[in-house]
Amino acid sequence: MVEFRKEHAFKGRLVMVGFGTVGQGVLPLLLRHIEMQPQQIQIIAADDEGLSVAREYGVACEVMPMMPDNYKPWLEPRLAQRDFLLNLSVDVSSAALIELCREKGALYLDTCIEPWEGGYVDPSLPTAMRTNYALREAALALRRPGRSGPTAVLTHGANPGLVSHLVKQALLDVAADTGAEVPTPHTRADWARLAQVLGVKVIHIAERDTQVGKTRKRLGEFVNTWSVDAFVDEGFQPSELGWGTHERHFPVDAGRHERGSQAAIYLNRPGASTRVRSWAPLAGPFHGFLITHAESISIADHLTLGDCDNPEYRPTVHYAYHPCDDAVLSLHELAGRNWRLQERKRVLKDEIVSGIDELGVLLMGHAKGAYWYGSQLSIEQTRRLCPYNSATSLQVTAPVMAAAIWAMRNPARDVVEPDDLPFEEILALCRPYLGDVVGAYTDWTPLAGRAWLFDEDLDRDDPWQFKNFRVV
């Protein structure tokens, strides 16, 4: 049983922009673990779907889609020094909201760096400008000299967010289990050196969702266990991955960026059409989608040693996502429609009858082969832990709650990423909501079991080489 302890007393106002799956799921967690009254919270939503949850908790809510020409008039009167803007919206510019919070002295947190509507799919923009790499660089450029502005936490949900902390714990686990004699990491360079010493070449964010609803997907419908709009948006973006120093074969349709950290590359194809091989303890080997996510870039960047243009060490990092089966069918139908979204959208939550979300990090290349560390959370566990959540959403909402508490405790840290936050503190706040948190070693590699049915041209001298294949 979870002890519902108040972790922090918050005296300001909390404005939540967006009240979809994550907003509905995080509200009870905020009121459970932060000492504040419902009257301190105001929700501004794009539509009235789900607002009955807010009213149940006595929270004021208004319907007003945020646009470039109205967000300031709406938000400015609602924000002051040490208030909090929790951005859980889709198609609302994160950079614009962060700048407004800077002007007002308010704290900020989001789960994804968003552009204004259309920014992900504008064909007039160069491919590189539609990447999470470009969005991240623009957000990090908002940092002030001296880094003493009001705290703005970027991209802190499950992934990106929680997984950056799982990587650090996984590195410590592998170090302990292999007898590596390395000092306790304290700095960014320390963590990168630890990963290098251990021989970690590749990190997958490996996720398999097996949740099933009472009613299966229908023709002309997109079904998912979290936001349909957000998933489709990121699926339409180019695939992106942190690019390791060990990689020797550059993908034929890949591109590099002209400026910035140089920690990642992009592929000239949508993530929703790019599949990769990965592994998780319960799922075993699976094919996931190489969906772009900010953690693929930030983890690779934070684990880089040396000059960014010619680094001494960096691992390859990418997301390998197998969503629930109905979401896979939805993506298949979406691709057949030439990426025109279905007429109907449905998010599975209350109607889920079984299944888990197995979300973790898979560290490969070290002395023990590969190590997966993460959360195995079932729908039954979820319903005992917190209302208005699926297993997928609770893995997001718990880190949102944890990072919000950290920001309230640390209100002058300027713009930060998950990798900048203290991993032990965040994991301690999240862990009661993650179900079974497990670590598992495996001898699986991306080449395991390959070429038995048809010949494949595989570079077998490096089993950790990036091996992806394209769905056409």
DSSP characters over 290-344: ----HHHHHHHHHT-BS-TTS-SB--EEEEEEE--HHHHHHHHHHHHTTSPPPSE
Amino acid, single-letter form, for residue 315: P
Q: Output the pLDDT for position 182.
A: 86
Among the listed residues 201, 375, 371, 206, the one whose alpha carbon sits nearest the alpha carbon of residue 303: 201
* Predicted confidence (pLDDT) at residue 465 exceeds the cutoff of 60: no
Q: Output the pLDDT for position 357.
A: 98
16 with 36: CB under 8 angstroms? no
Q: pLDDT averaged over the chain?
A: 95
Burial label, 115 (beta-carbon count in 10 A; 0-12, 13-18, 19+): buried
Query: d(Cα 167, Cα 373) in Å, to the nearest integer?
Result: 8
Query: d(Cα 55, Cα 38) in Å, to the nearest integer?
Result: 10
DSSP state of 420: G
DSSP characters over 173-219: HHHHHHT---PPP-SHHHHHHHHHHHT--EEEEEEEE--EESSPPPT
Peptide bond into 28 cis (omega under 30): no
Among the listed residues 193, 302, 317, the one whose alpha carbon sits nearest the alpha carbon of residue 264: 317
Phi first, then psi: give them for residue 226, nearest 5 degrees: -150, -170
Please report which confidence band the pLDDT of residue 278 belongs to, taking 50, 70 and 90 as the band edges: very high
What are the C-alpha distances in Å from 325 to residues 175, 208, 322, 348, 435?
Answer: 36, 10, 8, 12, 21
Radius of gyration from C-alpha coordinates of the chain: 21
46-60: burial string, b at 16+ Cβ within 10 Å, e else: beeebbebbeeeebe
Query: d(Cα 184, Cα 182) in Å, to the nearest integer?
Result: 7
pLDDT tens digit string along 132-169? Answer: 999 999 999 999 988 889 999 999 999 999 999 999 99
- Tell me the pairing of strands 84-87 and 352-354: unpaired
* Predicted confidence (pLDDT) at residue 468 exceeds the cutoff of 60: no
* Predicted confidence (pLDDT) at residue 336 exceeds the cutoff of 50: yes
> What does CATH list as the number for 162-395+433-470?
3.30.360.30
Query: d(Cα 405, Cα 415) in Å, to the nearest integer?
Result: 16
Q: Output the pLDDT for position 86.
A: 98
- State what percent of residues in the chain have pLDDT above 90: 91
Q: Output the pLDDT for position 471.
A: 36
C-beta atoms surrounding 4 within 10 Å: 11
Q: Output the pLDDT for position 459.
A: 63
Q: Output the pLDDT for position 1.
A: 47
The structural domains of the chain, with segments of one domain joined by +, span 8-153, 162-395+433-470
Phi first, then psi: give them for residue 325, nearest 5 degrees: -60, -40
Token pair for 37: 């009254």
The more confidently predicted of residues 319 and 465 is 319
pLDDT tens digit string along 297-333? Answer: 999 999 999 999 999 999 999 999 999 999 999 999 9
pLDDT tens digit string along 213-233? Answer: 999 999 999 999 999 999 999
> What does CATH list as the number for 8-153?
3.40.50.720
Residues in the chain: 472
Query: d(Cα 216, Cα 212) in Å, to the nearest integer?
Result: 8
Contacts of residue 94, defined as CB under 8 A and 6 or more positions apart, other chains included, come to: 87, 110, 112, 113, 114, 115, 135, 139, 154
Mean pLDDT of the 351-375 span: 98
Query: d(Cα 366, Cα 200) in Å, to the nearest integer?
Result: 5
Query: d(Cα 230, Cα 149) in Å, to the nearest integer?
Result: 29
In this prediction the pTM is 0.96
Q: Output the pLDDT for position 472.
A: 29
